[in-house]
Chains A and B, each alone.
Chain A
Amino acid sequence: MTVKIKVENVTKIFGPRPKKVIPMIEKGASKRDILEKTGHTVGVYNANMEIMEGETFVIMGLSGSGKSTLIRCFNLLNKPTSGAIYVDGENIVNYNKEQLKFFRQKKIAMVFQHFGLFSHRTVIENIEYGLEIRGLSKSERRDIAQKHINTVGLKGYENQYPDELSGGMRQRVGIARALTNDPDILLMDEPFSALDPLIRREMQMELLDIQTRLQKTIIFITHDVNEAFRIGDRVAVMKDGHVEQIGTPEELLETPANDYIIDFTREIDRSKVLQAMNIMSKPLSVMNGKDGLHVAIKNMEEHGISSVFITNRERQLLGLVTIDGAIDGVKNKKTLEEVMTTDVLTATPEEYVQDIIPRVLGSKYPLVVIDETNRIEGIILRVHVLSSIISHSADGEVEGEETLSQSVKPVEVTE
């Protein structure tokens, strides 16, 4: 993956003489001190980040943390007081008027919290605005706009005015208007915050859908951790104009940089963030079916476990043999295949923990994580699920104890 946007030491200060304030911040004066002493507001201080092509990058923070100020630096609605922003290797801060116009018309588009729609224009006229600015003919821009109206599910609303639509519908117009310009980069400033929770959820899902199809570089602002973690490939947390930590949702949960991040992620529902692959353990109670029942029994005895997963040579899951089944098989001279049960519950590595909970709790045996070719990637025990939901600090301990009591030990399996 290539770097699409590189933010280097970007600082944005609001006030009559912003440059004069920079030394004060460098000495460590707080945002409040600076406001009281000089009347300047520090929006963003010394932000650094790299945003990859095709990534959904979320900037999260409470109100006043500088996230909206920062996102406006990406299309120079705010010009940074100092620092550089490279897009495809070009420093956009140095753009002249013409270059900036071109950049905004072709490369970047923005979706706003309160939609920012033109109330004097119909839905389709709103959506084609960017193309109109670029001087496309009416028929050309109608065609393109219509395509995007269909993308966001606004078909039939073309000739309505924004104030005739619900909030969710209006934001669809906002998104379609941004997409119509076919920008590489999509800026979204709390686009779903003004919507009610049900609609918000629906819009998030649709955004993910659109993103899988279009693969834009998206910079998404939110104050909602759950939203950030649901949507973001990576998340930057901001506080008082500073970037506190940047990482994937799992990284923020597992290795928080400081207490602020821990506080922030406390209310997150971990089962919605962590995936099967994050909590599974190595698939060790596994053996090759060719080895027969005696090996299976020996294997279980050796490791003190009551069941073993059976695979073929390619480590593809065939089924499961329990100790009772194996002993019964030996007594009655049955083959391994005859006593093996194929009724094994599985999960894919990408499944979220919350979705696999019922399967884990409803089964006597571990859950097997398999990839698309049916190969075993790992297994998930009840304890894995439980410990993953509990907060970070308690993790290690709980896992250790419970693992012992379940008597699953790491074993090498000979094939």
Chain B
Amino acid sequence: MNEFPNVRIPVGDYVEKFIDFLAMNFGWLFDLIFTIASTTIRTIETALLATPWWAIMIVVFLLGWYLNSILNGILFAAFIFLIGSFNLWEDTMTTVAIIVISVVLSLAIGIPVGILMAFSKTFSVIIRPLLDAMQTMPTFVYLIPVIFFFPLGNVPAIIATIIYALPPVIRLTELGIRNVDSEVIESAESFGSSRNQMLVKVQLPQALPTMMAGINQTTMMALSMAVVGSMVGAHGLGERVLFSINQINISLGFEAGISIVFLAIIIDRLTNGVADRLQSTGRRSA
């Protein structure tokens, strides 16, 4: 009586069949994505490695000084120098390249989706559970189909990173636009703004501080995927961490790990600095 009836609904099998179907019929599409993505990564990576280390250090110092304080600038420069001294420079640049392309693609997808969700309640209701799934589904579960489509390496890592890092920018773009003061919207409307003018001249600028918080979160989450991404073959700092786990190499593990933390601190503070700057000229009028 207390046993569950002998019913089996094989949802997993359906998903597997669907993935098979995609791989069989859309192989060309995934090949195209792969080619574009891997070329882009290589380009960014090459450009970063071609830049002298001290130039990157100076740029980070100046950005830190400009967006935060001179003290932060010095701190960030010290972090960069430490990373170099760990002999992890090339790995770090690879990780940065992966993060940059993941974040850029996340924003390119996330901001338009967020805008659509702000405008259409129906669309918002449909997308929301998907966002929940993207954030809570254990990463490894969707790593499996991703490696089905792409050869091991940086590209599947980027896809996985985007899936994981996309929700915050979508959610906060929607929130930012929805929360624009209703009188501000009415006043823009009362002057006869078209829908596009309203979006570009009023809603997006007013939502920007909130959106920046989302962009910051997306960046941090992308960084946190560095190690997981390496499980499907991504190079860079994550690869070092995995390597040190296999070798039980505490010293290398710590150095690679702390390098990721350094990157996180620098990126977090810099994007926050941008958000603060926008905030000071974008405070609510009421």
Contact = CB atoms under 8 A, between A and B. Distances in A.
Contacts of A378: none
Contacts, number: 86
A104 B192 contact: yes
Contact of A118 (B186, B189, B192, B206): B206
A313 interface: no
Contact of B285 (A100, A102, A119, A133): A119
A102 B286 CA distance: 28
| Chain B interface bracket (under 10, 10 to 19, 20 to 34, 35 or more) | 20 to 34
The 7 closest A-B pairs by CB, nearest first: A116-B187, A104-B192, A105-B192, A116-B183, A120-B205, A110-B190, A119-B285
Interface in A85-100: 100
B128 interface: no
Interface of A: 72, 75, 77, 100-105, 108-110, 112-121, 129-130, 132-134, 161-163, 170, 177, 181, 187
Residue from A109, A116, A162, A170 whose CB has the most chain B CB atoms within 10 Å: A116
A248 B49 CA distance: 80
Contacts of B181: 114, 116
Nearest to A187: B190
A117 B181 CA distance: 10
A133 B193 contact: yes
Given A116-B181, A118-B202, A120-B206, A104 B283 contact: no
Nearest to B204: A120
Given A162-B285, A170-B285, A116 B184 contact: yes
Given A161-B281, A163-B285, A117 B192 contact: no
A49 B166 CA distance: 54
Interface in B73-106: none
B187 A133 contact: no
Residue from A120, A121, A133, A163 whose CB has the most chain B CB atoms within 10 Å: A120
A162 to B, nearest CB: 5
B186 A112 contact: yes
B191 interface: yes
A113 B181 CA distance: 13
Contacts of B284: 119, 163
B194 interface: yes
12 contacts: A75-B190, A77-B186, A109-B191, A117-B187, A118-B187, A118-B202, A118-B285, A119-B282, A119-B283, A120-B205, A161-B281, A177-B187
